[in-house]
Amino acid sequence: MADAGMLRFHVPEPEVRPGGTPDFSNVTIPKAGSVPRPEIDVDPRTIRDMAFSIIRVLNRAGEAVGPWAGLLSDEELLEGLRHMMTLRTFDARMQMAQRQGKTSFYMQHLGEEAVSCAFRKALKPGDMNFPTYRQAGLLIADGYPMVSMMNQIYSNEADPLKGRQLPVMYSSKEHGFFSISGNLATQYIQAVGWAMASAISNDSRIAAAWIGDGSTAESDFHAALVFASTYKAPVVLNVVNNQWAISTFQGIARGGSGTFAARGLGFGIPSLRVDGNDYLAVHAVAKWAVERARANLGPTLVEYVTYRVGAHSTSDDPSAYRPKAESDAWPLGDPVIRLKNHLIQKGAWSEDRHTQAEAEILETVIAAQKEAESHGTLHAGGKPSTRDMFEGVYAEMPPHLRRQRQQAGV
Ligand SMILES: Cc1ncc(C[n+]2csc(CCOP(=O)(O)OP(=O)(O)O)c2C)c(N)n1
Ligand SMILES: [Mg+2]
């Protein structure tokens, strides 16, 4: 009891700073296949351990093992691989387009492709995601046209959102992708509310909420858990723990709770952790949670353990706050390489076919980019009209906006 009367303020510190040696010894990785798969109506009190473990399917040899394996056919896995590769190529091209001044801003998914691509395949048409900016895989895996995404990024004359949203903040009702809000954590309360409304109107569509590790510190996250647990809302509560919130390491938002999944336990919500770089594990856990929601068993909280390999956005430089080689030391590997190796090991894929697919995908993405650029980019070509700014928000435009529109002469 030293310093009696002297209060101390605690600020969690990351294990390592730039220039140091990356250290993930604090991330305990259970063996693939070692976590049991309970029935979906399991008593949450009996699976509390799952909030502290990591569900994994793909082992180091690329085999799919354990009770969460075996849900997807080779064709479905090959399709999943193609989606992840497409997202990665899309990201690389759009990152470059930002550096060329064709858009003001871009955000990549590098290393996190499995999370949104595999999750989408567990949903049915009509289900609604409330995504953040790092789930474009939900659109790619659902067949949303890349050209429309690029038009939005370029804010050009064919931008479906007519230049009124930040680049990468897509919106598609048909593809179950609710308009992205830049105000993080609002996705949680909105998803829970949407899910409750779906149940109140005796519908069969469920919702999925999305949040990053850092944003779980927002009070909206906790408020959403209160409503989701009390009313057993048909919702999947996704937390993407990519270790970083811009320059803030995950320990700040996690605090003393041990894991982000453990946050759900105090609310009596079944809470699982999954290897976010394992396409098969992500899909299997998502399916389990989606089935629970659809069977009126209430919410499930899923923490995807992954790593943000790239910068937070095109406005960020991670070398200022983490060692350059940190992503190489990340113990859960790369989602694309792991699924590729699995399919090769099964005899369903080969290095040659992979190289060929990379070339085909690049060609498809470049063709989409050419088409989008024919409609304009940030500083060249067609733009949405000023008039568009006033449309599509109010059913009846309030007088002050009508006046502004008149002043703008549109
Ligand atoms: C309510 C709110 N606060 C702050 C920001 C600014 N901001 C944008 S992204 C970000 C980091 C979010 O990190 P995380 O939740 O871990 O998601 P990630 O970017 O890693 O996917 C912050 C603080 C914001 N958009 N909204
Ligand atoms: Mg994060």
Domain boundaries, the chain: 44-311+330-379
Residue with the smallest CA separation from ligand 1 atom 17 is: 212
Cα 188 to middle of ligand 1, angstroms: 14
Please indicate whether residue 276, judged by its CB atom, sits closer than 6 Å to ligand 1: no
Strand, helix or coil for residue 261: helix
Q: Which single residue is written with the structure tokens 């991670």? A: 318
Strand, helix or coil for residue 55: strand
Q: What is the pLDDT of residue 169?
A: 98
Cα 134 to middle of ligand 2, angstroms: 9
Distance CA 234, CA 246 (A): 31
Ligand nearest to the CA of 135: 1
To test the ligand 1 pocket, which listed residue (109, 113, 189, 215) has its Cβ within 8 A of the most ligand atoms? Answer: 215
Please indicate whether residue 306, judged by its CB atom, sits closer than 6 Å to ligand 1: no
Please indicate whether residue 213, judged by its CB atom, sits closer than 6 Å to ligand 1: yes
| Residue 262: Cβ within 10 Å count | 18
Pure H helices in 161-303: 186-200, 219-230, 251-254, 279-294
Closest C-alpha to 392, from 152, 154, 162, 147:
162
Q: What is the pLDDT of residue 59?
A: 98
Residue 304 corresponds to which tokens in the numbers above? 């995807």
Please indicate whether residue 242, judged by its CB atom, sits closer than 6 Å to ligand 1: yes
Distance CA 249, CA 29 (A): 19
Pairing verdict, β 235-241 and 271-275: unpaired
Residue 128 makes CB contacts below 8 A (sequence gap 6+) with: 176, 178, 191, 194, 205, 206, 207, 208
Please indicate whether residue 210, judged by its CB atom, sits closer than 6 Å to ligand 1: no
Phi, psi for 367 (deg, rounded to 5) = -65, -45
DSSP state of 240: E
Q: What is the pLDDT of residue 25?
A: 87
Cα 211 to middle of ligand 2, angstroms: 8
Count, residues in the chain: 410
pLDDT per residue as tens, the chain (410 positions): 566 789 999 999 998 999 999 989 888 999 999 999 999 999 999 999 999 999 999 999 999 999 999 999 999 999 999 999 999 999 999 999 999 999 999 999 999 999 999 999 999 999 999 999 999 999 999 999 999 999 999 999 999 999 999 999 999 999 999 999 999 999 999 999 999 999 999 999 999 999 999 999 999 999 999 999 999 999 999 999 999 999 999 999 998 889 999 999 999 999 999 999 999 999 999 999 999 999 999 999 999 999 999 999 999 999 999 999 999 999 999 999 999 999 999 999 999 999 999 999 999 999 999 999 999 999 999 999 998 988 888 999 999 999 999 999 98
Q: What is the pLDDT of residue 3?
A: 66
Whether 40 contacts 288, CB under 8 Å: yes
Q: What is the CATH number of domain 44-311+330-379?
A: 3.40.50.970
DSSP state of 181: P
Q: What is the pLDDT of residue 255?
A: 85
